[in-house]
Structures are given as structure tokens and as C-alpha cells.
Amino acid sequence: MMNTSGIVLFAKKPGPTSFTSLHSIKKALGTTKVGHTGTLDSFAQGLLVVCTGSLTRLAGNIIEFDKEYQAVFEFGKETDTLEYTGQIIKEAPLPYEESLIAAIKKYTGNFMQKPPLFSSIHIDGQRASNIARSGLDAEIPARPVCVYKAEIKELRKNDENKITHVLINFSVSKGTYIRSLARDIGQACGSSAYLIGLYRTRVGHFKIEDAAGFNRLPEFTIDWALKEMEEQKILIKKANEQRVLKKEKQKYVPDQAELDLQEEIRQKICQVDKDTASLCGFEIINLISNVGKSDFENGRPLKSKLFDKDLHTLPNNSITAVFTKDDDFAGLIDKDENGRVHYRFVKKD
């Protein structure tokens, strides 16, 4: 029987939404129980870490991991969405390289960042993006973020030696919006900027190179981002026209490329290891025998003799990842503030 509980590293192509991109995983594993650990905008590409089956319970932990991106900014304009699908709301002179370097340095380290209004953040029970599209104003409080690293990889200049585009590698903490970095860096160098290309390359210790579909992704450059932006604008326009026409639904028939991708997903689905458990902030404990494994899987009373650590030594208010003696992930237990140990969940295939 195929294992449907695990972690899928998936290379999202630009164009589809993160939700639509889950279709290939659902079909490959024959399950509807999937949960991504942080979306990418439809125009963006790169790594989606997707939890499936019983491991969807871990999605909330993995979403907290640090991330790495490559981003292309275009200078001289700012849009309401802070990326190219939005409406231009500001124009400004192009910056020189020295000003850009100073601005990037300013936004490296710890600082308070104001998220984009066009985002999934909720304000008084409503998505900020829905409020923005209705034409109403809303205020999203700034929040603490950290840019661990910001490295210029490629520059594009005009005849006056002013910067028109830049490609930057970012390593950032959870909750950091690259679109907001485009806005803030643009303003800090005396110009305006918005995002025209985004490529997520790492989530925690998960890397894009290990993702199913990685070989479908093109080399990420300024030239590619400019070309892709124009192509996506045409596709968005056509999609809007088709909605108006209300074309008749056609039966979905996967082509060979999609079937190959689904097979790659089945081959590459992975399990929680101790590195992942540690990044999630869990304590780690091992069952010492197959008898203990059976007892754990069947929900029998949790006793220290089943494990390689005394349960009394686990901190109160903690979550512990349980592994078998062969280091296979078995599930989670928690210890409450009164020192009582409970099952949190047992992994099911």
C-alpha cells in the first residue's frame, strides 16, 4: 500500500496558485489531505513544502522556518500590490548603485516591517487583500522580521549608469515579505521599486534542488523575469476574458509530463527526520523496541520503560517527537504544565 503520509517537496512553476499546484500531489498520492506550509504568489516559483495525510498536523510548525529567496526588483515605479500585477501608484527617479547598496544594508538585520495590504493577513476577521480590493483603507501594524543576508547577484543599468533592475538573494525569518522589501529598499535609495520575479529556494533545511519538478524550472535571471512577466500578463488577460465567456468545462486528461511529475512525487515523498523535528522545536525521544512501537501505535499507556529517556525528564509544556528504534517518525506526545504526558497524534500511513 502506498504511503500517503509524509512531506513532499514540490517545485511550483510561475502561473498557477499554490492551491492549484497541490493538484499534482493529490493525484499522485490518491489523497485530498494535503497542507502547504506557506504559499507563494501565483507569479512566483520555487519550493512548496507540503505535508500530506496525518502529517498535515505539522504544517503549522514548518511554516515558522526561515526561508531563502531570489528576487528581481524593477525601479522607478511602485504598485498597490507591490508586484507587477498591481496598478502603478508612484513613480520616482532611478537610483545609483551606491544608494542601492546603502539601502540594502539598512534593511539587513532586525527591523520592523509593514506587510503589504494585498496579503492574506486578517484585519478584524477579514483578509487584508479583500479589504484593499473593496477600495477601503486598512492599517496593518508593522511586525519584527530579520533579513539574515541580502546579496546582489545581478544588476541592470541604463545609459546614465542608473539601476533599472536588480536580482538579490535574501535569507529571511518567518513572516518577512519580499514585496515589502522591494517597497522599502526602493524608498530608502531615493526611488521606488516593485517585485517582478520571485524564486523560493529554501525552507528551513529543505532545498529546491530536492523538490519534485525542479528540472522543470528555468534559470532565474533578470532577463527571464522580464520575459516571464510579459507572458504572465498576457495569460492573466486571457484568463479574465475566458471567465467572461464562461467556456464549457473540459474533462481533465493528464499529459505524459504530468504523469512523470506524479511518479516523481511518489518517489520523493519523505518522512520527518530528527533535523526536521528539531527545527519544529520538538524534544526528541526514541522507542526502544518493536513491542514499544506496537504499544505506541495502538495508543496504550505512555510509560518511561517504552522509551530511551525517562518521561519525567521532559520539560513541562513541551511537545516531543517520537521515533522508533530505527529512527522512523512515529508521532508526537506532549507534556502539560502539570507534568502529565499525553498522546498528541500517532502517524498513520
* Banded pLDDT at 246 (limits 50, 70, 90): low
Which pLDDT score, from 0 to 100, does residue 133 have?
56
Whole-number Å distance between alpha carbons of 52 and 27: 12
Tens-place pLDDT, residues 30-86: 998 998 888 888 889 999 999 999 899 888 889 889 999 999 999 999 998 999 988
For residue 10 the three cell numbers come to: 514540490
Question: Pairing between strand 283-286 and 318-323?
Answer: parallel
For residue 177 the three cell numbers come to: 515579505
Whole-number Å distance between alpha carbons of 98 and 107: 15
3-state class (DSSP) for residue 302: coil
Average pLDDT on 112-134 reads 62
Whole-number Å distance between alpha carbons of 343 and 295: 12
Q: Residue 293: name the closest of 331, 342, 337 by CA.
A: 331
Query: Of residues 41, 223, 326, 334, which has the active-site annotation?
Result: 41
Distances (CA, A) of 271 to 4, 10, 17, 37, 341: 10, 14, 25, 15, 24
* Banded pLDDT at 244 (limits 50, 70, 90): low
3-state class (DSSP) for residue 248: coil
Q: Does residue 41 have an active-site annotation?
A: yes
Q: Residue 282: name the closest of 13, 99, 58 by CA.
A: 58
